[in-house]
Amino acid sequence: MQTEPGDPPGSGNSGESPSGPLAIEARGLVKRFDGTLAVDGVDLSVPEGSIYGILGPNGAGKTTTLRMLLGIIDPDEGFRRVLGHERPHDVARLIGYLPEERGLYPSMKAYEAIAFMGALRGLQLKLGRERGRELLETHGLGHAAERQIRQLSKGMAQTVQLLGTLVHKPQLVVLDEPFSGLDALNQGKLERMIRGLAEEGTTVIFSTHVIAHAERLCERIAIIAGGRVPFAGRVDTARDRIPPQVRLETRAQQGPWRGALPADARREGSFWHFSLPESGIEPLLRALIEGEAGILSLSIERAGLHDAFIAIAGEAAARALGTEAGEGEQA
């Protein structure tokens, strides 16, 4: 199957398409490794200047998708356009990439490593060295500029690589699992850095298996599970897939008002939990008051991204995601 630009997105991908210019557009990307389908018809539309998250458990196809978008590997089927170009290497100077498996030359000095990564993207070595020192200074690693990579801690080396990803001032930054291996403090720093990039107009796309990062940072996400994208669109739209959740506490346990509760209402302790009915909260409120239920508390909460993820990708994917996130946090 050869998908062309402008084709409608895949059937499972029901998020609305962004209207502005796109930094990345992909339609029907397919990749097989030795006959195994790793990515099966991925559609993505990443608006320019946005922070875009690709969310999914390990093995879902996130890294393969990113590699295809960057031209590291070519898709077997489908179409991709990155910064207006169908061959990502043609705009390599405008892209910064932090792979999941971090890699630096152990014998290189920190500022040299940054300069080298810039040189790969067309930055003059001299300028790269100057910027490398500046970036290290700005991010509190000025003292490590002359140290060899092998002499740095894992977190410091990871920061050096991230700075190398940014040294040539790219228009598009692609980060594969950027938070993995970072402690809470450095995760916070990275979140601030990503927000800062977006404020400067840089498009940031990152993959993660930690929902909280995507929820805090992204305007738009794509959920990947089993090589497919069942959802791609605004985070709010994903949440709206699930009706708001109502939590009700009453003084009375029984009464005619019980008949007004929705069918999915379940009792946990003294609380009732149920989805907000399509007719709204008013008819229920009326029934509760007239039936003298004695309302002690009533809250309507919008669904979280985690619940949306379960609804979209399924319990199994959510469980896998939860396990990995837990493992990641423990690590």
Shortest Cβ distance from residue 200 to other proteins (Å)?
20
Q: Does 103 bind other proteins (CB under 8 A)?
A: yes
Least CB distance from residue 330 to other proteins, whole Å?
20
When asked if residue 298 is in the footprint of other proteins (CB under 8 A), the reply is no
Do residues 25 and 81 make contact, with C-beta atoms less than 8 angstroms apart?
Answer: yes
| Window of 120-128, 180-188, 242-250, 295-303 that interacts with other proteins by CB under 8 A | 120-128
Stretch that binds other proteins, among 44-52, 115-123, 245-253, 288-296 (CB under 8 A): 115-123
Q: Map tokens 């040189």 to a residue.
A: 119
Which of 30, 39, 55, 95 binds other proteins (CB under 8 A)? It is 95
Q: Which of 93, 234, 247, 258 binds other proteins (CB under 8 A)?
A: 93
From 47-55, 95-103, 193-201, 262-270, span contacting other proteins (CB under 8 A): 95-103
Would you count residue 92 as binding other proteins (CB under 8 A)?
A: yes
Among 30, 94, 145, 229, binds other proteins (CB under 8 A): 94
Of the pair 106, 188, the CB lying nearest other proteins is at: 106
72 counts as binding other proteins under rule CB under 8 A: yes
Q: Which is nearer to other proteins, 93 or 216 (CB)?
A: 93
The reply to whether 258 sits near other proteins by the rule CB under 8 A is: no
Binding mask 2-41 for other proteins (x = CB under 8 A): -------------------------------x--------
Residues 6+ apart with CB under 8 A from 31: 37, 38, 39, 61, 64, 68, 73, 75, 76
**Residue 262, C-beta contacts closer than 8 angstroms, at least 6 positions apart:** 274, 275, 277, 284
CA–CA separation, 104 and 101 (whole Å): 10
Strand partners, 172: 95, 203
Instruction: Out of 75, 99, 178, 230, name the contact with other proteins by CB under 8 A.
Output: 99
Beta bridge partners of 98: 175
Interface with other proteins (CB under 8 A) = 33, 67, 70-73, 85, 87, 89-95, 97, 99, 101-108, 116-117, 119-122, 161
